[in-house]
Amino acid sequence: MLKKSSQSKSSELDSVFIVAGIDFGTTCSGFAFANKKDLDKTTTPILNDYINWRDQPFPFPKTSTSILYDQEGNVKKWGWSADKYKSSHSGDYYVNKIKLYLDEELLPTLPNPRKFLPPGKIVVDVIADYLKKLLEVLMDELREKYGNDVSIENILFCLTVPAMWSDRAKHSMRVAAEKAGMVQSRYSQRLILVLEPEAAAYYIMNYSPRKIGLEPNDRLMVVDAGGGTADLIVHRLKRSGNLEEVCRGSGESCGSTFVDDEMYSWLKKKLGPVWKRMEKDNVSLMEYFNEPWQKIKLSFRGDMDDDSFDIPAKLSNTYMTSEDRARLNGGDEIVITESDVRSFFHNSVVKIKKLIRDLLDECGGKIEKCILVGGFGSSQYLLNCIKKDFGSCFDQILRTEEPGSAILKGAVLCGLDPFFIQARRCALSYGIEAIAKVSSWKLGIIPSKKKKPGLFIPIAEKGELIEASQYKEKGIFRPAKPNQTVLPIKIYSINERKAEFKRVHKDGFSYHGKICVNMPDVGRGIDRPVMVRMYLGQPDIKVVAINVNTGEEYSTTFNPFASLEDLQNNGSSQYNYSSSDSMDRTLISRSSHPNLHMASLRTELTQEKSLYTRASQPNLRHISQMSQGDSGYGNSIASNRNSRSNKVGMTRSGVTSYPGSGALVNNRSSDYQNQMLPSKRYSQQSNKSCSRHKEPEITCYKVAHKYEPQKADEMRLHVGDIVTVDQSWDDGWAYGKNLSSKDQGIFPLDYLIKLPPTSNYHYHHHSQNNSIQNNMNSANPNGSYIQSC
């Protein structure tokens, strides 16, 4: 839930002395770690990785990103062991390359995950199960090295993510880490996200055995080509020894796993009817051909003699007829040529070269160094192709000598020094919605002095360079009406550079949630200014709103799962923006670094849904439990229950505004933190003993979202119905009557929109619904709901 950032910060980091880098990859994953206490003895941290994985085919700092479930959905094997035993029992669920399902652009091309996931599991659950197993090995290693007293609370987790990923994908990894038990809250101070190419750059610059020799102001392009993605980024070396982003990086899902896919498509055509018989028995080609293919792929340089795959006797005897054997050189082998292997690499190499060309064009001019990292980055053929096409564009093109551990160890270094990347470019334009007086030439409309609702006020523009330790601040924003008690700050982004005064509901904006600022002092009228700050220089974005008169601060993290459903019929945010008294500042605040104080933040999680989730089940809000860091509205990804936009208020006493769409039930007490207050409606007390709110003047509401009852005494709500509220409770539930259906019962308040006062609402006649609707529309033409934000 939103929390005043002026309150004392958590001391969650006080007990941390281990920094662990977790690299969850498409094909392989692993960890590395360092002990901060070592820095008392030396200025160079001792970086440790792990190479003793069970059932590993060879020593390597990572294990396979594979997991094997039994029929009940329990983890049976994982890592290399899952690959080894995947076909030993029929009915098991073998899952690998699950990371690909977090790339939203790639998602439509992938198989439906329901075909291979255990019943009841979604993608984030599988990632969490895998991370949990990885965590068990990490804890065993730490306790063996540092003693049995080492606990989870002693670890700062640095979780790597592709720079090209969307905010939603990155947020999903936070959710998975929470589910895996790494942290109690996905916004914990002990969990930070590290961009994979940045981690590689840090390691290469300072700790790689092969020094690359950058001078101040030299530029470095990192091509992080892994199993799933190719992530590119360009940094400039500052005189301080830190790096700053030259231009916004880019990437695409075109890693080595797609080279494998091309090979297997070719192999299926070669086998023809043999493959069809294997497919009927659910037999994977990887079981027979993966090991010889990996040897060919890793050694391929662009020229090779013809090679072959030996056809195992088991496959030949089980699935091949005499005709098949005659067609396949007696059924003993399948010949593979240099031309074949080139064709497997072709699509991925072409895409990576395009990414390099586009980034060179954007950065302008020659770049001093280019270095390849990642598993695919170790390919000699890929290196040769890049040198051939771009040899004149760089002074030097290299590849790391430690492709498997560079990102792992770099993630640890980023955790030890989060400000090594001194400045980053904004991926999008970020800002908020407001009502503003703007000149006609900016809007391209007929000249008018009227205020325009629903306009985008940018705080930072796409491509703008933001210092990692700074925030962008903009103001002044004021309430739209003098009696307004809550000011909603709605956060938006758009993939354009110049978007000021565009309409947020029409021009391709993305909504990311809001901060509700409590402003009870209506005696000041509209003279109650609010400033908005955004911390945009780190992978995690933080937003702060400040009540200038009181100094109170309200903060939230950037919420990629926020839904526009809570904006239906709720047009423009209720505050004015005046460009004449605005301030646009960039202020240094190292102590306010968002990654160091994540525990103090609470996100308004208005919806949990993604393209890869299973069919959702309704959540019983009145019995839901919340963990630390969950939204105070009762709609939490961490609760592992899907969601309507149900915002349960968390007040003990104090100020309560009746919620409409997107309402915040405010409270002034700090003792509610990290817990869900018991529902008075569903406690053992009688209704008479329940705390009843004083009825405000407005007693009628319009239903904004359909609600299906979960208990016998609950009332069904249909969109457009008009209801009265006779009694309400602190947890956001109410008892009332439906004027449309004549039903009565219990329902969630946040499915409703408060209507303006009118005596017509108190007549329980179905025939008056039309007049109610008309009165509602005419009373507030902007679709704004002042009292309930």
Tens of pLDDT, residues 258-268: 999 999 999 99
pLDDT at 750 over 80: no
Q: What pLDDT was estimated at residue 33?
A: 97
Residue 506 buriedness (CB in 10 A; 0-12 / 13-18 / 19+): exposed
Q: What is the mean pLDDT of residues 683-691?
A: 36
Q: Using CA atoms, how far apart are residues 594 and 544, in angstroms rounded to an integer?
A: 11
**Phi-psi group of 120: left, alpha or beta (phi > 0 → left; psi -120 to 50 → alpha; rest → beta):** left
Q: What is the mean pLDDT of residues 599-622?
A: 30
3-state SS of 120-180? CCCHHHHHHHHHHHHHHHHHHHHHHHHCCCCCHHHEEEEEEECCCCCHHHHHHHHHHHHHC
Q: What pLDDT was estimated at residue 193?
A: 95
Q: What pLDDT was estimated at residue 561?
A: 61
Longest dimension (CA), the chain: 93
Residue 261 buriedness (CB in 10 A; 0-12 / 13-18 / 19+): middle
* Under 8 Å between Cβ of 126 and 97: no
Q: What pLDDT was estimated at residue 577?
A: 57
Location of structure tokens 């103001």: 475
Please state the φ and ψ torsions of residue 394, each to the nearest 5 degrees: -130, 150
Q: What pLDDT was estimated at residue 88?
A: 66
Q: What is the mean pLDDT of residues 406-435?
A: 91
Q: What pLDDT was estimated at residue 562?
A: 58
What DSSP element (H or E) covers 220? strand 219-225
Q: Using CA atoms, how far apart are residues 696 and 544, in angstroms rounded to an integer?
A: 30
Cis peptide, bond prior to residue 476, ω within 30 of zero: yes
Q: How many CA atoms lie within 13 A of 418 on its CB side?
A: 27
Q: What pLDDT was estimated at residue 489?
A: 86
* Under 8 Å between Cβ of 189 and 599: yes
Location of structure tokens 């792990």: 50
Q: What pLDDT was estimated at residue 625?
A: 32
Which residues, at least 6 apart from 120, have a Cβ–Cβ distance to it below 8 Å? 73, 614
- Nearest CA among 110, 119, 84, 90 for reference residue 26: 110
Q: What is the mean pLDDT of residues 675-693?
A: 35
Q: Using CA atoms, how far apart are residues 159 and 24, in angstroms rounded to an integer?
A: 8
In 621-670, alpha helices (H): none
Task: List the strands of the sheet with 752-754, edge to edge.
Answer: 744-748, 733-738, 722-728, 700-703, 752-754
* Under 8 Å between Cβ of 264 and 344: no
Q: Which domains does the chain have, with CATH numbers?
A: 12-196 (3.30.420.40), 211-399 (3.30.420.40), 424-592 (2.60.34.10)
Q: Using CA atoms, how far apart are residues 637 and 627, in angstroms rounded to an integer?
A: 10
Single-letter amino acid code for the residue at 79: G
- Nearest CA among 758, 784, 781 for reference residue 771: 758
- Nearest CA among 367, 570, 587 for reference residue 454: 570
What DSSP element (H or E) covers 514? strand 510-518
Q: What pLDDT was estimated at residue 559?
A: 63
Banded pLDDT at 595 (limits 50, 70, 90)? very low
- Nearest CA among 60, 20, 11, 52 for reference residue 146: 20
Q: What pLDDT was estimated at residue 712?
A: 78
Q: Using CA atoms, how far apart are residues 666 and 654, in angstroms rounded to an integer?
A: 8
Q: Using CA atoms, how far apart are residues 470 and 588, in angstroms rounded to an integer?
A: 4
Q: Which residue has the higher pLDDT, 75 or 57?
A: 75
Q: What pLDDT was estimated at residue 29?
A: 96
Q: For the chain, state the CA radius of gyration.
A: 29
Q: What is the mean pLDDT of residues 619-645?
A: 31
pLDDT tens digits, one per residue of 123-166: 999 999 999 999 999 999 999 999 999 999 999 999 999 999 98
Q: What pLDDT was estimated at residue 726?
A: 80
CA distances 325 to 185, 270, 331, 528, Å, are 58, 12, 4, 84
Joined tokens for residue 781: 């033409």
Q: Using CA atoms, how far apart are residues 258 and 104, in angstroms rounded to an integer?
A: 17
Q: What pLDDT was estimated at residue 558?
A: 66
3-state SS of 18-41? EEEEEECCCCEEEEEEEEHHHHHC
